[in-house]
Amino acid sequence: MEKEILEKYKKAGEIAKIVREEGEKLVKPGVKILDIAEKVENRTRELGGIPAWPLNISINEVAAHYSPSQDDETEIKEGDVVKLDVGVSVDGYIADTAATVALSEEDKKLVEAAEKALEEAIKLVRPGRNINEISVKIEEVIKSFGLKPITNLTGHGLEQYMVHAEPRVPNYKSEYSHILKEGEVIAIEPFITGGRNYITEEDEDRGLTYSLVQVKPCRLREARQIIELMKERQGMPFSERWINIKGVKLKLAMRELKDRECVEVHRILRGDSKISQAEHTVIVLDEPIVTTR
């Protein structure tokens, strides 16, 4: 990996670590998740990064992809299990990291299992290692806590401006095989539950994020404005919060962008019981670098 690119990955990772930790401290009963999202995203920009996606704040049985909308009144409640998934881009070189805050004693084990599985997985990263060995270890640790991995959410590779690239990093023993190569960048992210071991996409229309995936001629001026605004993100997800168009005009513009398949909607992913997650980004080298730790 070129030194310049390595430095960008490292800078993104340093910023992501700082804002994740600051975000975790904000997770308390009665706090609006909209405030947490805005603080973390603003801080990311202040530190010289760009949010690679709107801060994801997924609570309890929601595994991933929830980010508060402009008018979101959701508050953290006593006993919630709150996952913060942070993305930071420096020129498209991404740091992807997540942590879970459990506000009740009984859910601390869920968090501990995710962190332990992640740490044990990271110890196995090196060039020449087959990812399936890492997957086996993750599952083994999770099961030692009497819990289950979510099987249809995996870790993944990262490439410039690409949040989900090859290879995958499954959280359980599977047929998937990939030999890690020097210079690959991977995000490892066990998702853990005591309930159903898979998530489904939710139909709901709140808390969504979007990616601009293709540019097509649009009828509405506001739709064209959104395209212009989001082009430079090169496909990285965005929130309606980041658009200075409000109310009906925004709704109609977003509808046209969806209908014309200019934007992809990232649906909220939900299980049937509380879910925890821990995630770091790792650069595969003889001495691997965990950019977000």
Looking only at the bridges linking them, the beta strands covering 275-277 and 81-90 are: unpaired
**3-state DSSP assignment of residue 2:** coil
- Report the nearest approach of Mn ion to the CB of residue 83 (Å): 9
Residue 274 CA to residue 114 CA, distance in Å, equals 13
96 part of the active site? yes
Residue 131 CA to residue 115 CA, distance in Å, equals 18
* Of 85, 107, 222, 240, the one binding Mn ion by CB under 5 A: 85
From 85, 107, 222, 256, the catalytic residue:
85
164 part of the active site? yes
From 80, 96, 139, 222, the catalytic residue:
96
| 96 part of the interface to Mn ion, by CB under 5 A | yes
Residue 34 Cα distances to 23, 67, 121, 152, 192, angstroms: 12, 8, 32, 28, 25
Q: How many of the other CB atoms lie within 10 Å of CB of 58?
A: 26
**3-state DSSP assignment of residue 5:** helix
Residue 196 CA to residue 215 CA, distance in Å, equals 39
Choose between 186 and 226: whose C-beta lies nearer to Mn ion. 186
Residues 149-188 that bind Mn ion (CB under 5 A): 187
Q: With beta carbons less than 8 A apart as the criterion, state whether 86 and 49 touch.
A: no
Residues 98-117 that bind Mn ion (CB under 5 A): 98
Residues 189-208 that bind Mn ion (CB under 5 A): 189
From 189, 222, 240, 256, the catalytic residue:
189
85 part of the active site? yes
Continuous segment of H or E residues that includes residue 147: none
Tokens of 181: 């190569």
Window of 85-93, 139-147, 199-207, 211-219 that interacts with Mn ion by CB under 5 A? 85-93
Residues 257-286 that bind Mn ion (CB under 5 A): 279
- Report the nearest approach of Mn ion to the CB of residue 198 (Å): 17
279 part of the active site? yes
Choose between 165 and 220: whose C-beta lies nearer to Mn ion. 165
Count of chain residues binding Mn ion (CB under 5 A): 6
Known catalytic residues? 85, 96, 156, 164, 189, 279
Which positions touch Mn ion (CB under 5 A)?
85, 96, 98, 187, 189, 279
